[in-house]
Amino acid sequence: MRKQIVAGNWKMNNDLPQTQLLIDDLKKQKLTSDAEVMIAPTFTNLWHAFEAFRQEHIEVIAQNMHFSESGAYTGEVSASMLKSVGIETVILGHSERRAYFNETDEMLAKKVDAALKNGMRVIFCFGEELADRKAGNEENVVESQIKNALFHLDGDDFKNIVLAYEPVWAIGTGETASPEQAQDMHAFIRNTLDNKFGKDIADAVSILYGGSVKPNNAVEIFSKPDVDGGLIGGASLKAEDFFAIVNAF
């Protein structure tokens, strides 16, 4: 049985007092699904959030990290630094990192390696842009993003990899992929993994959907057989909305 996961990506939102308010609201919510729940605050609030959720069923995860262990990389944070404040999971390859910070597949492959080497779990994001989909090229784009960053791994490494399909045209736009579009792409992704790593691994990897998931569309999207959860941006900033999505399972 694949893990069902709902992860909230807070992006560059919430200073420390705002983080505390959202933590308080999240603690009031009732978890009625079996999904694993994660939140990704900014670096400055990771330790605080980790401490706050120590006894709770919410895992605090990071939004990014550098591939080096340490050194002259001003402004960056390494896997071992994240681990030292209790963080076991990191989001890598978010489309905003790719678009605004020029993260390439090559860099992401190194980040994935560094995270796995440090015993971390990775939520690896990828997805096509609108022009790719309009040109009917979405599967080629997604396949090459997966191949370039993950195909050098061993099948065993996939125990610590979660995939997040996030069509760029659906992120923060209010436009969601239809449940059928999400299912078709997730099935394609699983098939791509099957061809390279075999069915057992392909069947075991959780594939999340991300892109304007809200309380009113989560049930339908999560009902699709190859959709194992969601990566949630905007709606994760309100505890009630986020938990309505988590409990949509």
| 220 assigned to active site | no
- Pick the closer one to ligand PEP by CB: 13 or 148: 13
Q: Is residue 210 part of the contact set for ligand PEP (CB under 6 A)? A: yes
- Pick the closer one to ligand PEP by CB: 146 or 170: 170
Q: Is residue 216 part of the contact set for ligand PEP (CB under 6 A)? A: no
Q: Which stretch binds ligand PEP (CB under 6 A): 44-52, 148-156, 226-234, 238-246?
A: 226-234
User: What does the DSSP assignment read for the chain?
Assistant: -PPPEEEEE--S---HHHHHHHHHHHHHS---S--EEEEE--GGGHHHHHHHTTTSSEEE-BS---SSSSSS-TT---HHHHHHTT--EEEE--HHHHHHS---HHHHHHHHHHHHHTT-EEEEEE---HHHHHTT-HHHHHHHHHHHHHTTS-GGGGGGEEEEE--GGGSSSS----HHHHHHHHHHHHHHHHHHH-HHHHHHS-EEEESS--TTTHHHHHTSTT--EEEESGGGGSHHHHHHHHTT-
Q: Is residue 211 part of the contact set for ligand PEP (CB under 6 A)? A: yes
- Pick the closer one to ligand PEP by CB: 155 or 179: 179
Closest approach of ligand PEP to the CB of residue 94, in Å:
6
- Site pattern 164..183 for ligand PEP (x: CB under 6 A): --x----xx-----------
- Pick the closer one to ligand PEP by CB: 41 or 211: 211
What single letter denotes the amino acid at residue 34?
D
Contact residue for ligand PEP among 4, 5, 6, 9 (CB under 6 A): 9
Residue at shortest CB range from ligand PEP: 233
| 175 assigned to active site | no
Binding site for ligand PEP (CB under 6 A): 9, 166, 171-172, 210-213, 231-235
- Residues marked active site are found at 94, 166
